[in-house]
Amino acid sequence: MSFTNNKGSEARLEKKRKGGFWLRKWDSVDVTNVFLVMGMQILAICAPFMFNWGAIWVALVMEVITALGVTIGYHRLLTHKSFKIPKWLEYIIVYCGLHAGQKEPIYWVSVQKYHHMYVETEKDPHTPKEGFWFSHIGWLFDNEYIAAKAGESRSGDYSNVPELKAQWFYRFLHSTYIWHKVSLAILLYILGGFSYLAWAMGMREVAIHQFTYFVNSVCHTWGERPWNTSDTSTNNWWIAICTYGEGWHNNHHAFPKSARHGLEWWQFDLSWEIIKFLETVGLATDIKVPTEADKERLKTAICKGVHYIVLISVDHDDLPDGGSGHFAETVRVMKKGKPEIMAERLTSDFQGDLEAVSMLANLGLEIFAHNIETVNASREMGFRTVSMLANSGLEFFAHNIETVNASREIYEQSLSVLKHAKLSKKGMITKTSIMLGLGETDDELKEAMAHLRVHFLRLSSQFIMGLQKLPKILHTKQGKQRIISPSSATETPKGYFSIYVGESTMRRYLVPLAYLKHPSFQMLLNLSEDEFGYAHPMGGITVPCKEETFIELTQDIAKY
């Protein structure tokens, strides 16, 4: 899917804004959802007038089974892939969740993935920023609007769940969902008459619906926030009890890929206990949970007075999620122990998994770093590199040609990761580096800088000859040209970063890293990005403002 809404999506969003909830066009999906929800409400109202212990016990048993089908199957397994089980067991658990009345897996998982990808932004399907009622249940009745928010070309595309659309079982459930509900209703009526229908169908589904919707609304409004996430998610103990662990929502937003939501021993999480049982009997594998060892190491570092930390991928790239869950937990523990600490994360490309990128971007990171390594390399560039090295006087020649002759797909994937990190969280600082001396031309380097649009860009070289031949980079703004020579820059001391200020002549300033958090400085960075589109090539930020304006701003921030 695209990062921005296409024209069709924008038109539907504008139509929604003008028409409001009631005056907009209602499609068949919206009308069907209204009738289904209202039908269950009417049955639930009738239930107390048809008191029947048999019906109540059937309703309670079905409530537990079907609700766990959602929490374990729909949510922790299909959406976040926090563990693995055999396909036959996966299908059984998911089919139980189908009868919770929250629609079929393809729809449910798609909505949930968009929620985590665009949490509490305009693209979030049930963002609390559109009001408590909308986040609780109103979003269910506006199918076109939800699709437009996420950037889908049309409702029903579900472009973010190709792995589910590829499986016949989930396609079958998607196309026959309503008939499964009808079949269950007929079966309950045959078993116990209207009282069974009222309790085991109506009252049960209404209870599951409301508790689930409370996670979307209440757990983004009231409760405790042990983790400093960029959203308003909270932990709510009574919702956790009613939803078998889903109410530890702040924990979940801190570590979305964790199979365990109740991270403390006293936090009730029945869903997690069942997953552990499945592991004990050999049915669940590859279970992702936060590690205590990493928490303790970070707590020790925080106690030693660390103010800025850089986390890099060294021994976690082989994990199924590319190490994103591991680093998510690490940053959360760090922020919990010391909220003011600043964190930079140097990432892999997660093989293009943008959900993992979104999760990391919303951890509370100040800087998201991913090294693109080289320009958009071509076959000719590879030949230039070989020729350059062969004529450099070397007796032996050894080089990883994959780094030089990188495919366009890898280049585009890295651009996608950096762009998505920036879009996933307002104010996110992005950073990358390009390795020089691999046969690239000045034009190729300038093209890469134009594509990147990052805040920090570092140019470096692993070859001495490359350092001697660092190219001059052309900056343009409103027809004016500036030549910046990297060879004239000096090293930036720890705890600071370089910022180049001026409208015609650029002067370098050293600014404390802590200034990045100040709202005024964030505005300055956004202006810089809009005006220039890329950063200064020596690891600093280029800001198009007068020097006196910048000095006045930094003096105000220093007082803050």
* Rounded-to-5 percentages of helix, strand, coil across the chain: 55, 10, 35
Instruction: Return phi, psi of residue 371, to 5°.
Output: -85, 120
**Cα separation of 327 and 319, whole Å?**
11
Across all residues in the chain, what is the average pLDDT? Answer: 73
500-525 burial, b if ≥16 CB within 10 A, otherwise e? bbbeeebebbebebbbbebeebbebb
**Cα separation of 46 and 61, whole Å?**
20
Q: Over 60: is that where the pLDDT of 420 sits?
A: yes
Q: Does residue 478 sit within a domain?
A: no
Q: What is the mean pLDDT of residues 29-36?
A: 85
Q: Are residues 427 and 524 in the same domain?
A: no
Q: What is the pLDDT of residue 10?
A: 47
Please identify which residue in the block is written with the tokens 């450099």. Answer: 392
Choosing from 451, 469, 487, the residue where a domain stops is 469
Cα of first residue to Cα of last residue in the chain, in angstroms, is: 41
Task: Out of 26-30, 250-254, 264-268, 328-332, pick the least confident.
Answer: 328-332
Task: Report yes or no: 103 and 207 within 8 Å, Cβ to Cβ.
Answer: no
Dihedral sign computed on CA atoms, order 97, 99, 104, 109: negative
Task: Out of 47-51, 307-311, 317-321, 379-383, pick the least confident.
Answer: 379-383
The DSSP line for 363-418 is SS-SEEEE--BS-S--HHHHHHHHHHHHTTT-SS----HHHHT--HHHHHHHHHHH
Choosing from 279, 296, 313, the residue where a domain stops is 296
Q: What is the pLDDT of residue 308?
A: 65
CA 402, distance to chain mean position in Å, is 29
Q: Does residue 252 sit within a domain?
A: yes
CA 200, distance to chain mean position in Å, is 37
Q: How many domains does the chain divide into? A: 3
What whole-number percentage of the chain has pLDDT above 90? 32
Q: Are residues 456 and 513 in the same domain?
A: no
Tokens of 115: 């929620």
| Reported confidence tier of residue 21, pLDDT bands at 50, 70, 90 | low
Q: Over 60: is that where the pLDDT of 122 sits?
A: yes
What whole-number percentage of the chain has pLDDT above 70? 57
Q: Over 50: is that where the pLDDT of 416 sits?
A: yes
DSSP 8-state class, residue 141: G
**Cα separation of 235 and 344, whole Å?**
26
Q: Are residues 251 and 380 in the same domain?
A: no
Q: Higher-confidence residue: 206 or 449?
A: 206
Q: Does residue 314 sit within a domain?
A: yes
DSSP 8-state class, residue 193: T
Q: Higher-confidence residue: 540 or 133?
A: 133
In angstroms, the Cα distances linking 4 to 110, 128, 299, 449, 528 are: 17, 21, 39, 21, 21
Q: Are residues 284 and 310 in the same domain?
A: no
Q: What is the pLDDT of residue 481?
A: 30
CATH code, domain carrying 464: 3.20.20.70
Residue 449: strand, helix, or coil? helix
Q: Higher-confidence residue: 401 or 50?
A: 50
Q: Over 50: is that where the pLDDT of 374 sits?
A: yes
**Cα separation of 40 and 46, whole Å?**
10
Strands (E), 485-540: 496-501, 507-512
138-141 contacts, C-beta under 8 A, 24 or more apart: 138/21, 140/33, 140/37, 141/21, 141/26, 141/30, 141/33, 141/34
Please identify which residue in the block is written with the tokens 């005024």. Answer: 520
Q: Are residues 72 and 221 in the same domain?
A: yes
Task: Report yes or no: 245 and 228 within 8 Å, Cβ to Cβ.
Answer: no
| Reported confidence tier of residue 98, pLDDT bands at 50, 70, 90 | very high
Task: Report yes or no: 543 and 535 within 8 Å, Cβ to Cβ.
Answer: no
Q: Does residue 430 sit within a domain?
A: yes
Amino acid identity, position 295: K
| Reported confidence tier of residue 465, pLDDT bands at 50, 70, 90 | very low
Q: What is the pLDDT of residue 364?
A: 67
Q: Over 60: is that where the pLDDT of 482 sits?
A: no
Tokens of 196: 């069974």
Choosing from 246, 279, 296, the residue where a domain stops is 296
Q: Does residue 481 sit within a domain?
A: no
Q: Higher-confidence residue: 38 or 150?
A: 38
Pick from 144-148, 308-312, 338-342 the range whose average pLDDT is largest.
Answer: 144-148
Q: Are residues 277 and 389 in the same domain?
A: no
Tokens of 362: 């919303």
Q: What is the pLDDT of residue 119?
A: 82
Q: Are residues 311 and 285 in the same domain?
A: no
- Within 10 A of 183 (CB to CB), how many other CB atoms are there? 12
Q: What is the pLDDT of residue 519?
A: 60
- Computed on alpha carbons and rounded to an integer, the radius of gyration of the chain in Å comes to 27
- Which domain range does residue 146 map to? 5-19+31-296
pLDDT tens-digit profile of 211-262?
A: 999 999 999 999 998 876 768 899 999 999 999 999 999 889 878 888 999 9
Q: What is the mean pLDDT of residues 290-294?
A: 65
Q: What is the mean pLDDT of residues 1-24?
A: 47
Q: Higher-confidence residue: 549 or 231?
A: 231
Q: Are residues 459 and 343 in the same domain?
A: yes
Task: Report yes or no: 189 and 205 within 8 Å, Cβ to Cβ.
Answer: no
Q: Specify the length of the chain in residues.
A: 560
Tokens of 339: 């909220």
Q: Are residues 337 and 465 in the same domain?
A: yes
The DSSP line for 13-50 is HHHHHHHHHHHS---HHHHHHHHHHHHHHHHHHHGGGG
Q: Does residue 209 sit within a domain?
A: yes
Q: Does residue 534 sit within a domain?
A: yes
Q: Are residues 428 and 329 in the same domain?
A: yes
> Reading across the β-sheet that carries 456-461, which strands appear in turn?
308-312, 342-347, 367-370, 429-436, 456-461
Q: Are residues 347 and 288 in the same domain?
A: no
Q: Higher-confidence residue: 354 or 106?
A: 106
Q: What is the pLDDT of residue 1?
A: 27
pLDDT tens-digit profile of 37-88?
A: 999 999 999 999 999 999 999 999 999 999 999 999 999 999 999 999 999 9
Q: Does residue 393 sit within a domain?
A: yes
Q: Are residues 189 and 292 in the same domain?
A: yes
pTM beyond 0.85: the answer is no
